[in-house]
């Protein structure tokens, strides 16, 4: 530890869309390298880091079920495989920069990833390895946001960092309403009651129950992930105790 971070262990949630340009699927090399560099910067502080990756750039189970008539369970498993592909690419990019990393999957596929075992994951973090958690919870009907809340709770993380393409939580969609107010802090109760779309309700409820704060921030701003880890006020803090305020 550098002594500068208020956190001992954090979980970073990155959406699948982060790996590609807007409106384009697959993995963009520049985006991948940028994410890897930001993660390596955080790992260099000595803070234990777990990363949950989404798979929306590859496949969205809900869309498949709706558009192609595929059973929801099958479609969700297909989406989980998309997160594994993202996880494989991210692991390689991180290790290329000299930072040890391990890919762990909630679905057993020993040829390409370790199974997620809590004690093993904690040991990797103690050894300074970044762990990348793929395949969600391993169950259909659960989002990767819920996976982030679950894994953060299991791994005794101090905070969930929700990396997005906006600089916090707004009262309305800032892309369609430029006058929408942005929250500096927000309670879980308000976020759930107002259905602000920060995370799905299951994920928010789990964080609220376990008193696990969530910070929503713009990861596209270079250095923001490290700033959040080092305790700077970036984005929107969601927790149990403070009343909501706006800027």
> Mind listing the pLDDT tens digit for each residue in 27-40?
999 999 999 999 99
pLDDT of amino acid 174:
82
Task: Tell me the two tokens of residue 42.
Answer: 């955080």
Q: Cα separation of 63 and 69, whole Å?
A: 9
Domains and CATH numbers, the chain: 9-246 (3.40.1160.10)
pLDDT of amino acid 115:
98
Output phi, psi for 181, to 5 deg: -80, 140
Whether 145 contacts 199, CB under 8 Å? yes
Tell whether the model's pLDDT for residue 26 goes beyond 90: yes
- pLDDT tens, residue by residue, 131-174: 999 999 999 999 999 999 999 999 999 999 999 888 899 988 88
Q: Which residues, 6+ apart, have CB-to-CB distance to 56 below 8 Å?
A: 15, 16, 17, 82
**Between 178 and 74, whose confidence is greater?**
74
pLDDT of amino acid 242:
52
**Between 211 and 242, whose confidence is greater?**
211
- Strand spans (E) along 123-158: 130-134
Which range (65-69, 165-169, 191-195, 233-237) has the least confidence? 65-69
Instruction: Find residue 163's DSSP bridge partners.
Output: 14, 217
Residue 218 exposed, middle or buried by CB count within 10 Å (0-12, 13-18, 19+): middle
Whether 3 contacts 45, CB under 8 Å? no
pTM across the whole model = 0.91
Chain mean pLDDT for the chain:
91
Share of the chain above pLDDT 70, in %: 96
Of 166, 174, 153, 175, which Cα lies nearest the Cα of 236?
166
Mean pLDDT of 49-57: 95
pLDDT tier for residue 244 given thresholds of 50, 70 and 90: very low
Mean pLDDT of 100-110: 97
pLDDT of amino acid 179:
83
- Given phi > 0 = left and psi -120 to 50 = alpha, else beta, which region is 235? left
Q: Of how many residues is the chain composed?
A: 247
pLDDT of amino acid 225:
92
pLDDT of amino acid 1:
41
- pLDDT tens, residue by residue, 191-218: 999 888 889 999 999 999 999 999 999 9
């Amino acid at each position: 530890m550098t002594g500068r971070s208020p956190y001992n262990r954090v979980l970073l949630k990155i959406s699948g869309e982060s790996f590609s340009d807007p409106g384009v699927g697959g993995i963009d090399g520049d985006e991948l390298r940028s994410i890897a560099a930001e993660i390596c910067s955080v790992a260099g502080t000595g803070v234990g880091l777990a990363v949950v990756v989404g798979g929306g750039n590859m496949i969205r189970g809900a869309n498949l079920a709706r558009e192609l008539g595929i059973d929801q369970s099958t479609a969700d498993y297909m989406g989980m495989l998309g997160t594994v592909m993202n996880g494989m690419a991210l692991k390689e990019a991180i290790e290329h920069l000299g930072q040890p990393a391990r890919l762990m999957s909630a679905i057993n596929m020993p040829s390409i990833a370790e199974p997620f075992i809590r004690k093993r994951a904690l040991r990797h973090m103690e050894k300074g390895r970044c762990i990348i958690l793929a395949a969600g919870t391993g169950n259909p009907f659960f989002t990767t946001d819920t996976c982030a809340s679950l894994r953060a709770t299991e791994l005794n993380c101090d905070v969930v960092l929700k990396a997005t393409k906006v600089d916090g939580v707004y009262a309305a969609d800032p892309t369609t309403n430029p006058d929408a107010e942005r929250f500096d802090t927000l309670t879980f109760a308000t976020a759930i009651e107002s259905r602000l779309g920060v995370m799905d309700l299951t994920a928010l409820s789990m964080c609220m129950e376990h008193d696990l704060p969530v910070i929503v921030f713009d990861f596209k701003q270079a250095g923001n992930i490290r700033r959040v880890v080092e305790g700077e006020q970036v984005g929107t803090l969601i927790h149990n105790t403070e009343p909501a305020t706006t800027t």
